[in-house]
Amino acid sequence: MWCMVDANATSQLRRGVLEYCVLAVLAEDERYGYELVSALDGVLSSEGTIYPLLGRLRKERWVESSWRESESGPPRRYYRLTAAGHDALERFAREWERFRDAVDEILEGRVRTW
């Protein structure tokens, strides 16, 4: 029997990992807001979520930003990871791996016993 995951549970999962997904995307290269939205397709619930999150990440000093002129419109704010942001991402990645593996083991155990 097919069962859908509770939408609230999915929303909570997204909220819990979104900031680290932003850090991971910025670890590749600096980006402006819309580029982040595009890169986070499937994880980001709405475009309006990214800017308050980026503000929080700036307050945490995990990202920094600078304004640049754009050839195709108004200036854009580009975000880049700081050393503290890299450290936070590395800590999260280690913890995520442990957490993911534990959940996978539990789920695989359940599948085998059904």
Q: How far is CA 36 from CA 2, 23, 79, 101, in A?
A: 33, 10, 9, 27
CATH class of domain segment(s) 12-24+32-113: mainly alpha
- Model pTM score: 0.84
pLDDT digits (tens, 9 = 90+) for 91-105: 999 999 999 999 999
Query: What's residue 112's pLDDT?
Result: 54
Mean pLDDT of 75-97: 97
Return the exposure string of 19-38: e unless at least 16 CB atoms fall within 10 Å of the residue's CB, then b: bbbbbbbbeeebbbbebbbe
Residue 6 CA to residue 108 CA, distance in Å, equals 20
Q: How far is CA 40 from CA 16, 26, 50, 103, 113, in A?
A: 14, 11, 10, 23, 36
**Where along the chain do its domains lie?**
12-24+32-113
Residue 27 CA to residue 40 CA, distance in Å, equals 13
Q: What is the DSSP letter of 57?
A: H
